[in-house]
Amino acid sequence: MQLPEKVKIVEVGPRDGLQNEATPVPVEVKLALIRKLEEAGLPVIEAGSFVSPRWVPQMASSAEVFRAIDPKPGVSYPMLVPNRKGLDAALETGVKEIAIFAAASESFTQKNINCSIGESIARYSDVMQGAEQAGVKVRGYVSCVLGCPYEGEIAADRVAEVAGRLHDMGCYEISLGDTVGVGTPLKAQRMIDAVSQVVPVAQLAAHFHDTYGQALANLFAVLQQGVSVIDSSVSGLGGCPYARGASGNVATEDVLYMLNGLGIETGIDMDRLLQAGQYISEHLQRQPASKVARALTAKA
């Protein structure tokens, strides 16, 4: 069994984790969470998104949050943008890295952004051109790679087609999202097999939700194929506004515990990570969704 020696964890809690929260999270709380994640050693922290506040009210303060961040050397703070308007707002705010998103499901794309998969990708040509001119890095997301809330099973070759188009447009990394968390290890491996035919595995990331409790198993499966970038959310925060029933992202604490047990280097401090998860969980007045956080906190 061949596993990567190092894994980069992309912390999506401040964006993907909080976007579905109904109660507004104040700017100062978001900033405190980001600082705690920095202190824990996270190398990439999604700070927010420039989407319409009408559709995602929780992200309305993203520009204010980004401007208030005191960047830590070696840490990047990407922001999600849906279109050229979002890119222009990001550039005006001083963002150095953005993420764009597509889906492998026609139905999900229509529900999410009211257009087809082809149209959604075509819209990004202007975004990619503007980002290149501004010297801004672009990461690509593909949603519903292991299943769709409207269509059910998604063919791996369709995932590969969408991922390949984003890669060809200039995305330096493609994050493959099991948006509804329905995947299982063999399906995850077959999907990576298909996508790696058009995008080098070194440029792929796994973004798995834990709705059916399969996220860690799926991650372990794709680690064996050479995937070395994992998206996760502190305390298991998250969900999707357009995927009813989808639970949170896999918890960063749980991912770190598994990677530590495998002897894989991440550079992340578990104690500080637990403090970050406890902080945001207390603010949201709920128990952490991370099993590791609950176990270690009870043990302490």
| DSSP summary character for residue 5 | S
| pLDDT for residue 33 | 98
| pLDDT for residue 4 | 97
Looking at the 3D structure of the chain, how many domains does it have?
1
CATH number, residue 144: 3.20.20.70
| DSSP summary character for residue 71 | P
Q: Does residue 1 lie in a domain region? A: no
Q: Which amino acid is at 195?
A: V
| DSSP string across 192-253 | HHHHTTTS-GGGEEEEEB-TTS-HHHHHHHHHTTT--EEEEBGGG----TTSTT--PBPBHH
| pLDDT for residue 1 | 72
Q: Does residue 190 lie in a domain region? A: yes
Q: Does residue 282 lie in a domain region? A: yes
pLDDT tens-place values along the chain, 300 residues long: 799 999 999 999 999 999 988 888 999 999 999 999 999 999 999 999 999 998 899 999 999 999 999 999 999 999 999 999 999 999 999 999 999 999 999 988 888 778 889 988 999 999 999 999 999 999 999 999 999 989 999 999 999 999 999 999 999 999 999 999 999 999 999 999 999 999 999 999 999 999 999 999 999 999 999 999 999 999 999 865 444 544 679 999 999 999 999 999 999 999 999 999 999 999 999 999 999 999 999 987
**Residue 280 belongs to domain spanning:** 8-299
Q: Does residue 128 lie in a domain region? A: yes
Two tokens at 49? 């998104």
Q: Which amino acid is at 120?
A: S
Q: Does residue 201 lie in a domain region? A: yes
C-alpha 282, offset from chain centre: 22
Q: Does residue 117 lie in a domain region? A: yes
Q: Of these residues, 144, 148, 171, 240, which one is catalytic?
A: 240
108 near 144, Cβ under 8 Å? yes
Q: Does residue 176 lie in a domain region? A: yes
Query: What is the rounded distance in angstroms from the CA atom of residue 107 to the CA atom of residue 57?
Result: 23
Q: Does residue 151 lie in a domain region? A: yes
Please confirm, yes or no, whether 240 is among the known catalytic residues.
yes
| pLDDT for residue 279 | 97
Predicted model pTM: 0.95
Query: What is the rounded distance in angstroms from the CA atom of residue 89 to the CA atom of residue 91?
Result: 6
Distances in whole angstroms, Cα of residue 142 to Cα of each of 44, 100, 156, 202, 259? 18, 9, 12, 16, 24
